[in-house]
Structure 1
Amino acid sequence: MDRHTSPPPAPSVLSAPLRPRPAPPSAADLAILAELERKVLWLASWTIHNANHLRPSTDGLKVGGHQASSASLAAIMSALYFHVLRPEDRVAVKPHASPIFHAIQYLFGRQTRERLEHFRGFKGAQSYPSRTKDADDVDFSTGSVGLGVAQTLFASLAQDYVHAHGLAGDRPKGRMIALVGDAELDEGNVFEALLEGWKHEVRNTWWIIDYNRQSLDGVVREGLYERFTGIFEAMGWQVVVLKYGTLQQAAFAEPGGAALKSWIDTCPNAEYSALTFQGGAAWRKRLMDDLGDQGEVSALIARRSDAELSALMTNLGGHDIAALIAAFDAIDHDRPVAFLCYTVKGFGLPLAGHKDNHAGLMTPAQMEALRAAMGVGEGREWEPFEGLKRPAGELAAFLDRVPFAQGGPRRFTDPALAVPALAPPPNPVISTQAGFGLILQDLAKGESPLSDRIVTTSPDVTVSTNLGPWVNRRGLFAHAALADVFKRERIPSTFAWEFSPKGQHVELGIAEMNLFLTLSAFGLSHSLFGARLVPVGTLYDPFICRGLDALNYACYQDARFILVATPSGITLAPEGGAHQSISTPLIGMAQDGLAAFEPAFVDELAVLMEFAFDYVQRDGEGAGDERNWLRDETGGSIYFRLSTRPLEQPKRVLTEAQKRGIVDGAYWLREPGPNCEVVVAVQGAVTPEAIAAVALIAEDRRDVGLLAVTSADRLNAGWTAAARARERGFAGATSHVERLLEPLPRHCGIVSVIDGHPATLGWLGAVAGHRLRALGVEHFGQTGTLADLYAHYGLDTAAIVAAAQAISPGRPLRHLKAV
């Protein structure tokens, strides 16, 4: 086959044995594949047309669906799903090719006509492939461009980890495949992932680039494919460029073919797109203007009708089933491969090639013309084999023996791991960050099934987030053993960095997007590879915002992980505003699929970590708990916002009621009396200031209470869930925060305090109608001591006492000026 391909990287000791090359498809099978490709294109186009032109519209909004962007992948996806893929392979489908994916699954019997008819409608097939919303076995959610692409690389790393640790059983390794729009390669996270993949020597990864040379707003820059090729090859990937289809290759072999090939190779992208849209007559005129009167090449052009000439000039490698299969089947190694497939956006549709076709829709008249060309009878638009030239029985039999369709369910499960009791460290003064490291170290010392399945990861802040002791005991993951040079040379060092296939820490570079994609991939290991892992990732709290898109993506996929973000707030005083977080508590509250906690004391943290290791393994089954009205039975991921500030630890043994309160979001550190005038509600590291303030306030106000909030997120979620339940008729639905605040008299005021945005707790006054003053941080931090900054931002004891005076005016507080 005439295609450009860079040689694969030289085999290494890490490479798997060569893959056996599959038998090439027969001529009959190629004919069936071409028929199925036509049917996939029709079904995808009709699904979008039905949603926009036939389904009743109640709101007048355009439904959309990207007919042109879908069409450019019809041949590639048909070649993959109907010939190349095996059950163990996983695919991230380009977001705008969702209709093509659903059409293919419909032919396999894994998608319903009803859901296709409701495409982009309520409970219908999703706009973009979704693991959690679609019913037809999506491997990776896509939609936030580039993330599904990079996810395949980290899924490959997770697969390697599972196999290296002997957790895969007899399941073979699959290829992690991304179908990539060329414009997606503008996304920086893709290239961050490429570099990380090079560091970890990822394998079994294919990225198939739909190089249609068009983006949302126009035609891409000339020569971009050379840049792509250079980048991939520099990262150790093999690059295969599929530019010419079999019709073009045959034409190049004719007399004059070399001149035609040279013209194609030098034609600008914009010109090629415009000529594609204009069709055969335009191709003929342009080619004759440029190549006419050259004897052989003129004859080559003249031998073809306008329709044949148009078919020849648009017969690019990405639209030729035979060329695609030959390229895919030729890969006999497990090293990463990038396929650069030249395509036409909108191929096979009247929109083909037009620079404005990205979100364009075919008109009813154009759709009728396509119906006639496809041979689809009116009223039979959804029939699987309508209009195809091969007998329906033959097509059905072919689909039944497609390799991808064999092997049963592709979503796996793995039993939940028992969680041992976790004890807080005995240190009388300690920070929650240090406590986290010590609790994890205790787990590392043991041999519980849970500790063997924990895998930690961090973007180059492993030591500074207290993961060092865990790594010392459990090691770093790599495909080959690598000793710690400092240890070998007997140079004193606190940490031993020894790499091996049995290591349980994945060290990442400084790229938070990669951290969250790693957590997402490892957090889906039970479903993708049948082996449950419990990923724990650490980073600096303010840098959550750097990877927020990938964090949202991980939660949307229902990946399960524990995120430990530390240090946090202006409490990291000397570091200044660049390292001090403000908005992250609000992110924890707003992010679906993520339960956020911010404990002040290490015994609270131990309770919460024990809860977290169980919570991330829950499968969504079981009755809802009306005690707190949270969806705890569904499980999810966990976010701990921790601090480096050492606090004096309370000398106590927590009661079961206190433990339940810690998990549900709050408990009384000082119970209010029946005539309570002021309550201070505090979350996190500023708890000592709140304790001191309450002691002073209590000298002038009656029955003062101190509410220790461990999770504004869960308090708020339970409150809103209980309100919804009451609106649905559950009159007695009462949330945890309502029960906590119910005994307070109406004249009682609340002062809320957090080293974060004050809105985090500012809603507490609405629970039972109490006056509230919310203290927190709203502006970028300063450098300085804790005393300096707490006073500057109004979080110190004096500020809390002053706020109490403001919401409980009565008699003046004697200590207001003193503090």
Structure 2
Amino acid sequence: MNNRIANLEALEKRILWLSSWMIHHANHLRPNDDGLKVGGHQASSASLSTIMSALYFDILEPEDRVAVKPHASPNFHAIQYIVGNQTREKLEAFRSYKGAQSYPSRTKDIDDVDFSTGSVGLGVAQTLFSSLVQDYVQAKGWGGKPGRMVALVGDAEMDEGNIFEALLEGWKHGLKNTWWIVDYNRQSLDAVIREGLWQKFETIFRNFGWDVVILKHGHLMKHAFSEPGGEKLRAWIDNCPNQLYSALSFQGGAAWRKRLLDDIGDQKDVTALIERRSDKDLARLMTNLGGHDLPALIEAFDAAKTHRRPVCFLAYTIKGFGLPLAGHKDNHAGIMTPAQIESLRAEMNIDQGAEWERFAGVEDEDALRSFVKRAPFFRRRDRQHHAPLIEVPSELKIAIPAIASTQQGFGQIMHEIAKSEGDFADRVVTTSPDVTVSTNLGAWVNRRGLFAREKMGDLFRKERIPSTYTWEHSPRGQHFELGIAEMNLFTMLSALGLSHSINAERLLPVGTLYDPFIERGLDALNYACYQDARFILAATPSGVTLAPEGGAHQSIATPLIGMAQDGLASFEPAHLDEMAIIMRFAFEYIQRSGPDEADDGTWLRDAKGGAVYLRLSTRQIEQPNRTFDAAAAKRIIDGGYWWRKPGPNAELVIAYTGAVAPEAIAATGLLAEDRRDIGLLAVTSADRLNAGWTAAQQARERGRLGAMSHIERLLADLPRQCTIVTVLDGHPATLAWLGGVYGHRTRALGVEHFGQTGTIADLYRHYGIDTQGILAAAEANSLGRPIRYLRHTG
């Protein structure tokens, strides 16, 4: 045990030095052309140096996964550098172009990051949902040895609401194999946290079924408590306000001595206890909190390995521990001065020029190298797995009625998948935040069931009470039913969509929610895409479809979110035949992992793959009777096709997206009486059309003069004087850019303001996206001869 602790103490010092030096180099030594502060959080890293040393070099197993507190990323990079998974060049470029990232990133860092972190709270919740996904995989008889999902959590990070939403969901699903280690340094970005917060944390976690381990006193403190007068010292420590403890930690041994003697008074035993220690020893004693005591940490972590429930460790620490700025309330964004780093260098015994050496200042380098090589966590070098692809059927079956909505079509396709047999259907897993039925997943769940680790029957069915849905919970189920929390939905999709890498088992996740409420979970959606999680998101109803419910249930900006969100391919089909083609593509697309390069034909980065967003509608519209060959199907996937191809003298083109197809088709028919060359463009993905156009322009600027995107080919033959009128049930900017492709005059129609209540016809008329509005826009913006048409009054 002594050698074990001694090696860990040596590694703790190495981590503290390398993380501090990395930040110092970035802020004081590396050229800074733009003059912006680089930052790096030396104090926040220092408070976790002991805990991370114990975990990574002693406690963790290869199967375990860790979400590192964002501000402790320098520690993580230092650890990975020590074991050879990170390079000096990346550390020297910390927080600069293509250097080690400010916060651990699965996609940008090279040092084997389990979960990206950065937006506080999300990495914490990710471990909970990844544990539930691991349970799912294990229940199916897939996957290898299960691991622990570990989150290193800042105490101020616990203010994030998504953490508490996740805790509730974990309780519902019987969470296990999860450790959250709270870095209880009692300092946030701007202040010192409230007194007694640890008691609230303890109560919350216990109420949600967690075991709670409080790590407050280190072995030096415990030894002192056993001395005469020790209980009075303990009482003073336990009752000391957070701000005072932080301030005294910064001031050092003399300040501790004065305050203790002033507060406790001249009492023989406790006075003698204090006086027996030098200022240095007294400071070491008073900062020997549980989160900085390796024996206490190792003992607690070893004991927790046998716990069957999730475990929360409340580890008392000091922000900036081991650094000259320890405890100061301004240390969150503080950077050590050159003089302070030199003082630390002397304390660590680091020679000039040896700052980047992995084992500089170590007495027995060979012994420490050997200890590092034996660390269980690093036995498996590549911990990001590669699961086999799941073959997608050549087409997805759907019976198309005369009138239907895209939401109905989605439900029909999912039902057909549920009825089929084989690996494809078995690997599909769905989830929804309490809107499973109202987003048309009910038939899928009827056939495939809800997932739970233990079987629970449908009481209504048992009691023979008639019900449309016969839902049973069992390990065989393929649907996660969530509560009404969109943050949880997107975090669950992130966990499901990384199973191929985390669990070596590929899943095909499909999540549903109301389109207006995407914005409630945007941070988690962005986080999922940043991690390169793979999933299909079916958002419905969209636009002003729920017209009688008013603006609270109507979405305006979501098409722009679909266009702007990196890692997410956005589609908005109008008809069910388009829907079937797009969904088949989506199941294949979410499995791709090719090079991050644009295709020469579409200039889309399709080989890389990504997540998919389907913006669907409950509006029932007439369905065409048609078939698409492979070339036509590809145009639908690439983002658009001509419903009516314009003639050589076209003066007008109407471009539409989604549920406004009937209005666009009707307006085109009326205008065709006067303008026979009129064109009608069906846009199935404004996102992909725009992305291809942007990439093709960039390619031409770099010398690829023949680069041409799909939208450029579609519009290539339009006369210069042709006007484009665009329309959708969403923000008009979604399609307004079409005029910029070749410089055509463009009038963009759409929804810009929160909705009224009423019928769809009322609201379409209100926003000018009905047939009459399209006709009026065409007449007012045509550069050719006046347009004559029969005005509608209905």
Tell me which of 172, 180, 199 is aligned to 1:226.
199
**1:23 matched to which residue of 2?**
none
| 1:263 corresponds to 2:263 | no
Of 200, 211, 224 in structure 2, the residue corresponding to residue 238 of structure 1 is: 211
Residue 201 of structure 1: aligned partner = 174
Partner Cα separation in structure 1 for residue 785 and residue 578 of structure 2:
36
Tell me which residue corresponds to 2:634: 660
The match for 1:628 is 602
8 Å CA contact 1:669–1:707 kept in 2: the answer is yes
Q: Secondary structure of the equivalent of 2:746? A: strand
Q: Equivalent residue of 2:438, what SS?
A: helix
- For the pair 1:91 / 2:66, whether they are aligned, the reply is yes
| Aligned: 1:379 with 2:379 | no
Whether the aligned pair in 1 keeps the contact of 2:723 and 2:783 (CA below 8 Å) is no
Other-structure match for 2:412: 438
Q: Distance in 1 between matches of 2:521 and 2:18?
A: 37
Residues 566-605 of structure 1: pairs in structure 2 closer than 5 A: 566-605=540-579
Of 31, 41, 46, 2:21 maps to: 46
Match of 1:284 among 257, 276, 287: 257
Does structure 2 conserve the Cα–Cα contact (< 8 Å) formed by 1:154 and 1:521?
yes
The answer to whether 1:406 aligns with 2:355 is no
SS for the counterpart of 2:34 is: coil
User: Would the aligned equivalents of 2:654 and 2:681 in 1 still touch at CA under 8 Å?
Assistant: yes
Give me the whole-angstrom Cα distance separating, in 2, the residues matched to 1:289 and 1:721: 70
AA at the equivalent of 2:710: H
Once the two structures are superposed, residues 774-811 of structure 1 have per-residue CA deviations (whole angstroms, 9 ceiling, x without a partner) of: 00000000111111111101000010011111221444
- 2:694 pairs, out of 705, 720, 731, with 720
Distance 1:792 1:218 in 2: 50
What does residue 286 of structure 2 align with?
Answer: 313
Once residues 646 and 788 of structure 2 are traced to their aligned partners in structure 1, the CA distance between those partners, rounded to angstroms, is 21
Determine the structure 2 residue equivalent to 1:127.
Answer: 102
Deviation string, structure 1 residues 320-368 (Cα, Å, up to 9, x no partner): 1111010000111231000000000000000100000001000000000
Secondary structure of the equivalent of 2:659?
Answer: coil
CA distance, structure 2, for counterparts of residue 369 and residue 810 of structure 1: 79
Asked if 1:524 is matched to 2:484, the reply is no
The amino acid that maps onto 1:285 is K
Summarize the alignment of residues 124-163 of structure 1 with structure 2, pairs less than 5 Å apart: 124-163=99-138
* Cα offset, 1:674, TM superposition: 0.4
Mapped pair 1:758 → 2:732: yes
Over residues 468-508 of structure 1, what are the superposed CA-to-partner deviations in whole Å (9 max), with x where a residue is unaligned? 00000000000100010111111111111100011000000
After superposition, give the CA deviation of every residue in 1:485-544 in whole Å (9 maximum; x if it has no partner): 111111111111100011000000000000000000010000001000011000000000
- Structure 1 partner of 2:706: 732
Residue equivalent to 2:488: 514
Checking the alignment, whether the CA contact within 8 Å between 2:384 and 2:501 is kept in structure 1 is yes
Q: Does 1:741 align with 2:715?
A: yes
Does residue 463 of the first structure (1) align with residue 437 of the second (2)?
Answer: yes
Which residue type is aligned with residue 35 of structure 2?
A: G
Contact 1:423 1:603 in 2 (8 A): no
Deviations 1:714-745 (A, max 9, x none): 00000000000001100000000000001000
Distance 1:117-1:508 versus aligned 2 partners, 3 A rule? same
Which AA in structure 1 matches 2:638?
D
Question: What is the identity percentage for the equivalent residue pairs of Structure 1 and Structure 2?
Answer: 69
Matching residue's letter, 1:94: K
Aligned to 1:217: 190
Choose the corresponding residue for 2:88, options 113, 116, 121: 113
The residue aligned with 1:417 is: 390
Which secondary structure state, in structure 2, belongs to the residue aligned with residue 633 of structure 1?
A: coil
**Distance in 1 separating the partners of 2:554 and 2:36:** 42
- Aligned runs of 1:483-562 on 2, under 5 Å? 483-562=457-536
Spell out, residue by residue over 1:387-433, the C-alpha distance to the aligned partner (whole angstroms, 9 max, x if none): 122x1111111111111111342111111111112133221111100
Counterparts of 1:162 and 1:408, CA distance in 2: 23
Alignment of 1:445-460 (within 5 A): 445-460=419-434
Letter in 2 for 1:595: A
Q: Which residue of 2 aligns with 1:328?
A: 301
2: CA distance, partners of 1:345 / 1:506 = 39
Give the count of matched residue pairs.
791
Paired residues of 1:568 and 1:642 also in contact (CA < 8 A): yes
1:552-579 deviation digits (Å, cap 9, x = unpaired): 0000000000000000101221121110
SS at match of 1:423: coil
Report how far residue 816 of structure 1 moved: 5.8
Partner of 1:60: 35
Deviation larger for 183-192 or 618-627: 618-627
**Distance in 1, Cα, partners of 2:135 & 2:155:** 28
Partner of 1:252: 225
More off after superposition, 203-212 vs 784-793: 784-793
Helix, strand or coil at the partner of 1:463: coil
DSSP 3-state at the match of 1:639:
strand
Aligned to 1:9: none
Match of 1:16 in 2: none
Q: Counterpart in 1 of 2:670?
A: 696
**What is the letter of the counterpart of residue 719 of structure 1?**
W
How far did residue 624 of structure 1 move? 4.4
Following superposition of structure 1 onto structure 2, how do residues 320-399 of structure 1 map, counting pairs within 5 Å? Answer: 320-331=293-304, 332-389=306-363, 391-399=364-372
Q: Which runs of 5+ in 1 are unaligned?
A: 1-25
CA distance in 2, matches of 1:56, 1:624: 34
Alignment partners' CA distance in 2, 1:787 and 1:608: 28
Match of 2:227, SS? Answer: coil
Q: Is the 8 Å Cα contact of residues 425 and 602 (structure 1) preserved in structure 2?
A: no
CA contact (8 A) 1:620 1:633 kept: yes
Q: Does 1:29 align with 2:4?
A: yes
Report SS of the residue matched to 1:49: helix
Shift of 1:455: 0.3
Per-residue CA deviations over 1:568-627 (Å, capped at 9, x if unaligned) read 101221121110000000000000000000000000000000000000000124974211
Question: For each residue in 1:216-235, what CA deviation from the matched residue of structure 2 results, as whole angstroms up to 9, or x when unmatched?
Answer: 00100000000000000000
Where 1:653 maps in the other structure, the secondary structure is coil
Normalising by structure 1, we get a TM-score of 0.96
Greater displacement, 150-159 / 415-424:
415-424
CA distance in structure 1 between the aligned counterparts of 2:510 and 2:697, rounded to whole angstroms:
33
Match of 1:799 in 2: 773
SS at match of 2:607: helix
Aligned equivalents of 1:811, 1:539: Cα separation in 2: 46
Q: Is the 8 A contact 1:802 1:816 kept in 2?
A: no
**For the residues of structure 1 that align with 2:548 and 2:597, how far apart are their CA atoms?**
48
Map Cα deviations across residues 75-116 of structure 1 (whole Å, 9 max, x no partner).
000000010000000000000000000111111111111100
Asked if the contact 2:450/2:481 (under 8 Å) is kept, the reply is: yes
1:8-27 paired onto structure 2 within 5 Å: 26-27=1-2
- Aligned counterparts of 1:562 and 1:336: Cα–Cα separation in 2: 30
> Among residues 676, 682, 700, which one is paired with 2:650 in the alignment?
676
One-letter code aligned to 1:525 = S
Q: What's the offset of the Cα at 1:384? A: 1.2
SS in 2 for 1:685: helix
CA distance in 1, matches of 2:734, 2:248: 57
Range moving further from structure 2, 614-623 or 60-69:
614-623
Distance in 2, Cα, partners of 1:70 & 1:379: 23
**Structure 1 residues 33 and 248, CA gap change in structure 2 (3 angstroms):** same
Contact kept, 8 Å, 2:651 with 2:784, in 1: the verdict is: no
Distance 1:738 1:562 in 2: 28
Distance 2:631 2:751 in 1: 32
Q: Distance in 2 between matches of 1:109 and 1:686?
A: 57
